[in-house]
C-alpha cells in the first residue's frame, strides 16, 4: 500500500494537485502538516522534482523542525536540500548573500525587542521627543505596523499630512532607520522588508530565486501580513506553483499585523486557484468540535466549513461559574490534582487565559499545593541580563558596527568608564561620521576623555584580541574565553551573590547552546560561524522553549497556545469584559469581536478529550472589584453539550445551575450578584460619575476625560435599557461609544 493511501480523500486531493495556485482550508486538527509533508514527498518521488526546487515556510522554529523531521523520514536521501524554514530564517539566508546590494554589510546584526527599545530611547533623545507623550513602545509598535504594510519613512511622513503627532512619529521613524543602518543592524520587520526590496529592485536576484523555488508551500497562511504576502507573491511570480495552507477561523494575530484578507481573498489574487477543505478532525471529540462549530459560525467574515470527527462523542464540556477568581483557581488546581490521582500526568493539562496577568492566581495555588507548572511566554532566556551581556560581546566581536552592543558592554564588568565618557565617544563618532567602536580605536582623538583614554584603549585591545581568536578557535572555545578573560562570572559573584548561581547556570546553558549549534552544523556538514550562531539565537521564539517531555502543567495565553494540543484544557476567565474584553464589546469595529471569537475557537480546539470552561462573578482587575456576566461565547455553545453541575462544589465555590429552558438559561447567563450590575466596578470612595438612571455630570458638547483614551468631546448621549450610552470623540483615540456607568468619564472643568 502506498503512503498516499493512508490519507483521507480531501487530503489526498491536496497532495496530488501540484500545478498552479492551491488554497487548502485546513480546520484545527485536520492533519495539515501531514498533507504538506506528503505533498513534498509526492513532488520528489512521483513527479521527479529536485528537492532544492521546493520551499516550505512556517511561522515558528518548532513547526519548521517538526516538518523537517517528517520530510526526512518520508523522503530520506536528498531531503536536506529542501528549504524548510520560517519566514525570517529564509529572509536571513537571502540577505546574507545579497544585502550588500542595498548598501548594508553582509555581516549585519539582528536586533531583538530589547535592542529596539534601547535604540528608540536614544532616538527620542536625539530628536528631542517627549517620551511622556510618545512612549518608546508605542513608537516601535507604530513603526512595526508601517513596515508590515511596506510603508517606509518618506511615505509615512507624506501620509501624516499636517498632523503634528504623526509628524513627530515620522521624525522618530526616520532617525530610527538611520541609526539601524549606521549600526549595520536590522530589526525583525526589516528582515522581511529588505528582502522584498531586494527582490523588487534586483531583477537577477529575483529571477534566480524564482527559478530555484518552483514549488512553494506556506503554512499558517491566515497569519501572514502584507509584506509576507508580497514576499511570497514575488517568489512565486514565475511558476505560480503556490500552495497555501491555513484556517481563516484561526486568524488571531491582527495585533501583530496579520491580514485575514490574504486568505479570504486568495481566489481574487489567483482566480485560477483550486480550493480544498480539510474538515475531518483527528484531535478532539465530537462534543468539543460541536462547541467550537457553535461558537465560530457566529462570525460573518469566514469561509464556510464544519469540523467533524470519528473520535466519538466524548465527555460533555464542564462549565463552572464561581464567586471569585480565587475560587476559580482553587477549583482548577484541585481538579488537576484529582486527575493526577486517577493516573493522568501533569503535562496532560493546560490552562489557557486571555491576559498574562491571570496567571498569578494559578501560580499561587500551584505553589501552595506543590503542583509543578511552567508559564509559556515569560522572560525569554535570551532576554535575561547576563545572556544579553555575553551576546553583546559576541556581536561586538562579529560586527563592530553595532553601536548598541558596544555601548552595552564597554563598562560591563565595570572598568571605570562612566556615562560622561561614553557620551563623549558618541559625540566624537557622530562628528567624524564613524561608528562608536571605530572611534574607540583612536581614543587620543576623543576630546575630554582624559585619564579614561587608557581604559578605552585596553577595552578595544581586548575586543581586537577576541576578533583574532574568533578566526582560530571554535565558537565554544571563544565563548568560554570571553567569559573567562572579561571576568564576567567573578563580577556576578561580587555584585549579587544571592542570584549569581542562577545567572551562572544561565551562562552555562548558553555555552551548551553554542556546543549544540556546532554539533548541528557538523551533522549538516556546514561550517559553524559566530554570525550563524548569533543569527540562530536571534530567531528563537518563546514557544520554542516549551519542552513537551517535561511533566508540568502549562499556563499560557490563548495566543501562545496556537498550534498546540493537550488531553485536558481549562479555559479560564470566560466573562464579558475580560474575554471578550470590554473595549471589544463597546467598540465600533465588529471585526474586533470576530477576532476575539476566533481566539475562543482556537482555545476550544486545543482540547483532545476534556474541556473545562470557568468564569467568576467578580474579579479583582487593576485593584478594583469588577462584576461580570458569563462570556457571550459560552452562550453560543449549544446547551446540550454542557455539563454544569449543581449545588456547591465545596467551600465557597458554586457550580453553574443552568436549566434547559430559554428563560432560565438567559437569566443564568446574565446573572450578577444582587444589587450589582454586570461590568460595574467598585472603587475606593465613590468615583462613578453616574448611577443607573441617574443624572450625568456632563452633557453633549462638554469636554471629558477617560482613564485610557484621555480627553475628548461628548457628541451624543442616548438612554439605554440599563444605562446611558455616551458617544465621545477623543483627541487621540477617535470616536468611541460606551456605557456611562463603566466609562467613568470625568468632566474637564
- In SS3 terms, 320-368 reads as EEEEEHHHHHHHHHHHHHHHHHCCCCHHHEEEEECCHHHHHHHHHHHHH
User: Is 220 in the active site?
Assistant: yes
* Three-state secondary structure of 24-87: EEECCCCCHHHHHHHHHHHHHHCCCCCHHHEEEEECCHHHHHHHHHHHHHHHCCCHHHCEEEEH
The pLDDT > 90 percentage for the chain reads 51
pLDDT at 511: 87
Active site residue 389: no
CA 581 to CA 577: how far, in whole Å?
4
Catalytic residue chosen out of the listed positions 33, 118, 202, 324: 33
pLDDT at 385 over 90: no
CB 479 within 8 A of CB 528: no
**Per-residue pLDDT tens for 16-47?**
999 999 999 999 999 998 999 999 999 998 99
Residues 678, 321: Cα–Cα separation, whole Å: 14
Adjacent-strand bridge partners of 537 = none
* Confidence category of residue 341, pLDDT binned at 50, 70, 90: very high
* Average pLDDT for the chain: 85
| Run of H or E residues at 102 | none
Min mean pLDDT across 64-68, 152-156, 698-702 is at 64-68
pLDDT in tens, 173-214: 999 999 999 999 999 999 999 999 999 999 999 999 999 999
C-alpha cell of 575? Answer: 466573562
692 catalytic, yes or no?
no
Residue 357, pLDDT > 80, answer: no
How much is the pLDDT for 624? Answer: 62
703 catalytic per annotation: no
Measuring CA to CA, how many Å separate 610 from each of 106, 344, 575, 591? 51, 12, 20, 30
As given in the structure block, the three cell numbers for residue 490 are 567573578
Mean pLDDT of 708-733: 78
> pLDDT for 326-340, tens place per residue?
899 999 999 999 999
E-strand ranges in 553-680 read: 553-557, 566-571, 607-621, 624-627, 642-643, 648-650, 653-654
Of 29-33, 48-52, 112-116, 450-454, the range with the lowest mean pLDDT is: 450-454
* Listed range (220-224, 268-272, 419-423) with the worst mean pLDDT: 419-423
Residue 307, pLDDT > 50, answer yes
Helix segments in 559-609, DSSP class H: 582-586, 590-604
Residue 26 vs residues 44, 245, 432: alpha-carbon distances, Å: 23, 6, 57
pLDDT in tens, 608-634: 999 999 999 988 765 567 788 999 999
Rounded to whole angstroms, how far apart are CA atoms 622 and 740?
Answer: 19
Residue 721's pLDDT band, with cuts at 50, 70 and 90, is low
**Residue 654's pLDDT band (boundaries 50, 70, 90)?**
very low
Which of 11, 12, 32, 584 is labelled catalytic? 32
For the four alpha carbons of 113, 118, 120 and 121, in that order, the dihedral sign comes to: positive
Of the residues 194, 354, 606, 724, only one is catalytic, namely 606
Q: Model confidence over 207-259: pLDDT tens digits?
A: 999 999 999 999 999 999 999 999 999 999 999 999 999 999 999 998 888 99
Q: Which of 86, 116, 224, 250 is catalytic?
A: 250
CA 358/CA 555 separation, integer angstroms: 10
Pick the more confident residue, 480 or 626. 480
Indicate the pLDDT class of residue 541, thresholds 50, 70 and 90. low
33 is catalytic: yes
Say which of 112, 175, 187, 219 is annotated catalytic.
219
Amino acid at each position: 500500500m502506498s503512503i498516499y493511501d493512508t490519507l483521507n480523500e480531501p487530503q489526498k486531493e491536496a497532495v496530488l494537485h501540484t500545478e498552479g495556485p492551491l488554497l487548502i482550508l485546513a480546520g484545527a486538527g485536520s492533519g495539515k502538516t501531514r498533507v504538506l509533508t506528503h505533498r513534498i514527498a509526492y513532488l520528489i518521488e512521483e513527479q521527479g522534482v529536485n528537492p532544492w526546487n521546493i520551499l516550505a515556510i512556517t511561522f515558528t522554529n518548532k513547526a519548521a523542525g517538526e516538518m523537517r523531521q517528517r520530510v526526512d523520514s518520508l523522503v530520506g536521501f536528498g531531503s536536506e536540500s529542501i528549504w524548510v524554514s520560517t519566514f525570517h530564517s529564509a529572509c536571513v539566508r537571502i540577505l546574507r548573500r545579497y544585502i550588500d546590494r542595498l548598501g548594508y554589510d553582509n555581516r549585519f546584526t539582528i536586533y531583538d525587542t530589547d535592542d529596539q527599545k534601547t535604540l528608540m530611547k536614544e532616538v527620542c533623545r536625539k530628536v528631542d521627543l517627549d517620551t511622556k507623550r510618545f512612549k518608546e513602545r508605542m513608537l516601535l509598535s507604530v513603526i512595526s505596523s508601517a513596515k508590515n504594510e511596506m510603508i517606509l519613512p518618506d511615505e509615512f511622513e507624506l501620509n501624516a499630512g499636517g498632523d503634528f503627532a504623526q509628524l513627530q512619529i515620522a521624525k522618530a521613524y526616520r532617525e530610527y532607520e538611520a541609526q539601524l543602518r549606521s549600526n549595520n543592524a536590522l530589526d525583525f520587520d526589516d528582515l522581511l522588508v529588505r528582502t522584498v526590496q531586494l527582490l523588487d529592485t534586483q531583477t537577477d536576484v529575483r529571477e534566480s530565486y524564482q527559478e530555484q523555488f518552483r514549488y512553494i508551500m506556506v503554512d499558517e497562511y491566515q497569519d501572514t501580513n502584507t509584506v509576507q504576502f508580497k514576499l511570497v507573491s514575488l517568489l512565486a511570480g514565475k511558476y505560480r506553483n503556490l500552495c497555501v495552507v491555513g484556517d481563516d477561523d484561526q486568524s488571531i494575530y491582527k495585533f501583530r499585523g496579520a491580514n485575514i484578507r490574504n486568505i479570504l481573498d486568495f481566489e481574487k489574487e489567483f482566480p485560477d486557484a483550486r480550493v480544498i477543505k480539510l474538515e475531518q478532525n483527528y484531535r478532539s471529540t465530537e462534543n468539543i468540535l460541536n462547541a467550537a462549530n457553535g461558537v465560530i459560525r457566529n462570525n460573518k467574515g469566514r469561509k464556510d466549513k464544519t469540523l467533524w470527527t470519528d473520535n466519538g462523542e466524548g465527555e460533555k464540556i464542564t462549565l463552572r461559574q464561581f464567586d471569585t477568581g480565587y475560587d476559580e483557581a482553587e477549583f482548577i488546581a484541585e481538579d488537576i490534582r484529582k486527575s493526577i490521582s486517577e493516573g493522568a500526568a501533569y503535562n496532560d493539562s493546560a490552562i489557557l487565559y486571555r491576559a498574562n496577568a491571570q496567571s498569578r492566581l494559578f501560580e499561587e495555588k500551584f505553589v501552595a499545593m506543590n503542583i509543578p507548572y511552567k508559564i509559556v511566554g515569560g522572560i525569554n532566556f535570551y532576554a535575561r541580563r547576563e545572556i544579553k551581556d555575553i551576546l553583546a560581546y559576541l556581536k561586538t566581536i562579529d560586527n563592530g558596527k553595532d553601536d548598541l552592543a558596544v555601548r552595552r558592554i564597554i563598562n560591563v564588568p565595570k572598568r571605570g568608564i562612566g556615562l560622561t565618557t561614553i557620551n563623549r565617544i558618541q559625540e566624537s563618532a557622530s562628528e567624524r561620521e564613524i561608528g562608536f567602536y571605530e572611534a574607540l580605536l583612536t581614543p587620543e582623538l576623543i576630546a575630554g576623555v582624559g585619564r579614561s583614554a587608557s581604559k578605552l584603549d585596553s577595552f578595544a585591545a581586548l575586543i581586537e584580541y577576541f576578533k583574532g581568536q574568533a578566526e582560530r578557535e571554535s565558537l565554544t572555545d571563544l565563548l568560554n574565553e570571553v567569559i573567562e578573560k572579561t571576568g564576567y562570572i567573578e563580577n556576578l559573584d561580587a555584585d549579587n551573590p544571592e542570584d549569581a548561581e542562577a545567572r551562572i547556570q544561565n551562562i552555562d546553558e548558553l555555552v551548551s547552546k553554542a556546543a549544540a549549534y556546532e554539533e548541528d552544523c557538523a551533522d549538516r556538514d556546514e561550517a559553524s560561524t559566530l554570525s550563524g550562531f548569533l543569527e540562530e539565537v536571534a530567531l528563537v521564539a518563546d514557544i520554542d522553549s516549551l519542552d513537551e517531555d517535561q511533566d508540568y502543567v502549562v499556563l499560557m495565553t490563548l495566543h501562545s497556545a496556537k498550534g498546540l494540543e493537550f488531553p485536558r484544557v481549562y479555559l479560564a476567565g470566560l466573562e464579558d469584559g475580560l474575554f471578550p474584553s470590554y473595549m471589544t464589546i463597546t467598540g465600533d469595529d465588529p471585526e474586533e469581536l470576530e477576532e476575539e471569537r476566533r481566539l475562543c475557537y482556537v482555545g476550544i480546539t486545543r482540547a483532545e478529550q476534556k474541556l473545562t470552561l470557568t468564569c467568576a462573578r467578580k474579579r479583582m482587575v487593576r485593584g478594583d472589584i469588577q462584576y461580570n456576566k458569563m462570556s457571550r461565547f459560552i452562550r453560543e455553545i449549544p446547551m446540550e453539550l454542557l455539563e454544569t453541575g449543581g449545588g456547591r462544589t465545596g467551600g465557597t465555590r458554586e457550580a453553574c445551575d443552568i436549566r434547559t429552558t430559554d428563560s432560565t438559561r438567559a437569566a443564568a447567563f446574565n446573572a450578577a450578584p444582587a444589587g450589582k450590575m454586570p461590568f460595574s466596578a467598585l472603587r475606593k470612595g465613590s468615583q462613578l460619575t453616574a448611577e443607573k438612571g441617574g443624572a450625568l455630570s456632563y452633557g453633549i458638547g462638554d469636554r471629558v476625560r477617560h482613564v485610557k483614551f484621555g480627553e475628548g468631546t461628548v457628541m451624543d448621549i442616548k438612554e439605554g435599557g440599563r444605562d446611558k450610552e455616551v458617544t465621545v470623540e477623543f483627541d487621540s483615540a477617535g470616536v468611541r461609544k460606551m456605557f456611562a456607568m463603566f466609562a467613568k468619564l470625568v468632566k474637564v472643568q
